Amino acid sequence: ETGVTQSPTHLIKTRGQQVTLRCSSQSGHNTVSWYQQALGQGPQFIFQYYREEENGRGNFPPRFSGLQFPNYSSELNVNALELDDSALYLCASSLGGGAIDEQFFGPGTRLTVL
């Protein structure tokens, strides 16, 4: 167990709806990254938050947005869901700023868009 938790575990939505996924970081970690992992592919970087500020974003449209709270927990919001948004959504927390800064993943949220 990494100490990173995510909720919900599974979610089914229909096209056009909106969804919010949540992540609690490992104790002491101030950086959270979100990834989308489609079946059979590696995780794709969505964005990263460091001390409540977004400090990096991957090639995802603006309908993917996020927040990091003062306790360093985080949310990923996806608006206007599309069928291709069906994937495993992973958050990873890290200490931030270290020489290596290992990331530790939560168990993920499996999103299915119908």
**Binding residues vs another protein (CB under 8 A):** 2, 33, 35, 40-45, 48, 50, 55-56, 58, 88, 90, 92, 94, 96-108
| Contact between residue 90 and residue 43 where contact means Cβ atoms under 8 Å apart | yes
Nearest 5°: the CA angle 9, 10, 16 is 130
Measured from the CB atom, the residue of 15 and 51 that comes closer to another protein is 51
Closest C-alpha among 4, 89, 1 to residue 47: 89
**Nearest residue (CB) to another protein, 13 versus 58:** 58
Min CB(16)–another protein separation in Å: 28
- Closer residue to another protein, CB minimum distance, 51 or 63: 51
Distance separating the N- and C-terminal Cα atoms of the chain: 31
Residue 19 C-alpha from the chain's centroid: 12
The minimum distance between CB 80 and another protein, in angstroms, equals 24
CB of 89 to another protein, least distance (A): 10
